[in-house]
Amino acid sequence: MKNVNDQNGIESVQEWINQTLKKIHRKMVELFGIDFAYFRDIRIIKQSELLKQLTQRMRNGLEENGIVYTDIQWIQICKILSKSQVTGFFENFAFYNPKDEVLCINEKMIVNHPEKIISVCAHELSEKLLSTYLSSSPGAPKQALVKMLVEAKKTNNAEKLYELLDEYIDTVFLTVFKEGCCEAIALQTLRNMGYEIEAASMDEDLQIGYSKCINLLFEIDTGKRSQKGVRKVKTRLHSERRAAPATDEEKLIKEALRGSQIIKGVSYYLGYPLAKAVLEKYGIKGIKFALEEHPPLEAEYFANTQAYLTQLEKLTTVIQQGR
């Protein structure tokens, strides 16, 4: 692992990762009964290149939804992503682009944290499995929702703004659960392959991260209830033909976006315990049903997994029918 600066070393490590992931892929197909495509290629890239690719993907995604920043603004965004406190997050990082099916792995993880390679890459395989299995991709509408939020603010349509904020926050909760599902699927696969030590270590890391971050979801929930309260007051005053107090809708947008961006970086921690409970009780069909038909959209469900399982228990017949 220490020889990745040498081209032969890089190729050797890439081949080892490729062969290991192919075994994990075969086990996932066997374990969950879902035939999904493997990666077209595996690449180990430097952190600077990884940040460049992620930034470009971010830019392309926003522009596809009509949100355009100037080159100067993107230079500022790149500088923010390059700061040490941010790049630390990207050190143990891998991602694949659905458009070219290439898995990119940060070279720093290979050198500094080789013990995390298997679990991190198994997560990406889980992402591919779910994208094949689900009817749609949870969280995909998020960028379009951001665009609509901005448009609602421009047109001063407060009621539409509140509706979109509700929808946006629901999408955040759905994405958190989906990321947790990927972790749960990956770890269950590793356990079934004899990687008990790696799975146990990752499970412990996820549980510790979860305990440190769970309050973030309650903050999002509190914000959602607050804006609903403002909405009710405005509706009542309007019916009484009284002037409604001014509300800083822009502040609501910024708070929602800020909270969701923070949560994005720790979503797999937050979603893992609940997703693990669903997977262990209902299997992959339960995961599909939960994501598509009855997603957990309240912080309480993530803090009290039994409360959510009780809700799913009422729908056991539907789940067992394979929906």
Token output for 93: 């990082």
What is the domain extent for residue 279? 134-323
Q: What is the pLDDT of residues 220-254, one digit of tens each?
A: 877 666 555 444 434 443 444 444 444 555 666 66
Residues 142 and 283 in one domain: yes
Last residue of a domain, one of 133, 161, 184: 133
Distance, in Å, from the CA atom of 81 to the CA atom of 209, rounded to the nearest integer, reads 22
Instruction: Yes or no: say if 118 and 27 are a contact pair by the CB < 8 Å rule.
Output: no
User: If you ran DSSP here, which 8-state letter would residue 298 be given?
Assistant: S
- Per-residue pLDDT, averaged over 276-295, amounts to 94
Residues 62 and 11 in one domain: yes
Model confidence band, residue 81 (pLDDT cutoffs 50, 70, 90): low
The strand pair at 94-97 and 102-106 is best described as antiparallel
Average pLDDT, the chain: 78
- pLDDT of 236 reads 43
The percent of residues above 70 in pLDDT, for the chain, comes to: 69
Residues 305 and 288 in one domain: yes
Only one residue has tokens 């009710």, namely 232
Residues 1 and 149 in one domain: no
Last residue of a domain, one of 133, 152, 183: 133
Q: What is the pLDDT of residues 305-323, one digit of tens each?
A: 999 999 888 876 655 655 4
Q: What is the pLDDT of residues 190-226, one digit of tens each?
A: 999 999 988 998 899 899 989 988 988 888 877 666 5
Model confidence band, residue 304 (pLDDT cutoffs 50, 70, 90): very high
Poorest-pLDDT segment among 44-58, 136-150, 295-309 = 136-150
| pLDDT higher than 70, residue 34 | yes
Most confident among 69-78, 111-120, 215-224, 289-298 (mean pLDDT):
289-298
Residue by residue, DSSP assigns 166-201 as HHHHHHHHHHHHHHHHHHHHHHHHHHTTT-HHHHHH
Residues 79 and 154 in one domain: no
Q: What's the number of domains the chain is made of?
A: 2
Residues 80 and 179 in one domain: no
Q: What is the pLDDT of residues 174-193, one digit of tens each?
A: 999 999 999 999 999 999 99
Distance, in Å, from the CA atom of 20 to the CA atom of 55, rounded to the nearest integer, reads 29
Q: In this structure, which amino acid lies at residue 141?
A: P
Residues 176 and 292 in one domain: yes
- Per-residue pLDDT, averaged over 286-297, amounts to 92
Residues 107 and 149 in one domain: no
pLDDT top residue among 269 and 152: 269
Residues 203 and 111 in one domain: no
User: 185: number of CA atoms within 13 Å, CB side?
Assistant: 34
Last residue of a domain, one of 100, 133, 166: 133
Model confidence band, residue 300 (pLDDT cutoffs 50, 70, 90): very high
Residue by residue, DSSP assigns 75-107 as HHHHHHHHSHHHHHHHTT-EEEETTTTEEEEEH
Distance, in Å, from the CA atom of 255 to the CA atom of 149, rounded to the nearest integer, reads 13
* Distance linking the first and last C-alpha atoms of the chain: 44
- pLDDT of 320 reads 60
Residues 48 and 196 in one domain: no
Token output for 184: 């749960």
Residues 190 and 311 in one domain: yes
Distance, in Å, from the CA atom of 22 to the CA atom of 28, rounded to the nearest integer, reads 10
Instruction: Yes or no: say if 43 and 21 are a contact pair by the CB < 8 Å rule.
Output: no
Q: Which residues contact 191 (CB under 8 A, 6 or more apart)?
A: 199
Residues 186 and 197 in one domain: yes
- pLDDT of 75 reads 76
Instruction: Yes or no: say if 286 and 322 are a contact pair by the CB < 8 Å rule.
Output: no
- pLDDT of 249 reads 59
pLDDT top residue among 247 and 14: 14
Q: What is the pLDDT of residues 98-155, one digit of tens each?
A: 888 899 888 888 888 888 888 888 999 999 999 999 986 544 445 555 566 566 666 6
- pLDDT of 59 reads 75
Kind and range of the H or E element at 33? none
- pLDDT of 69 reads 73
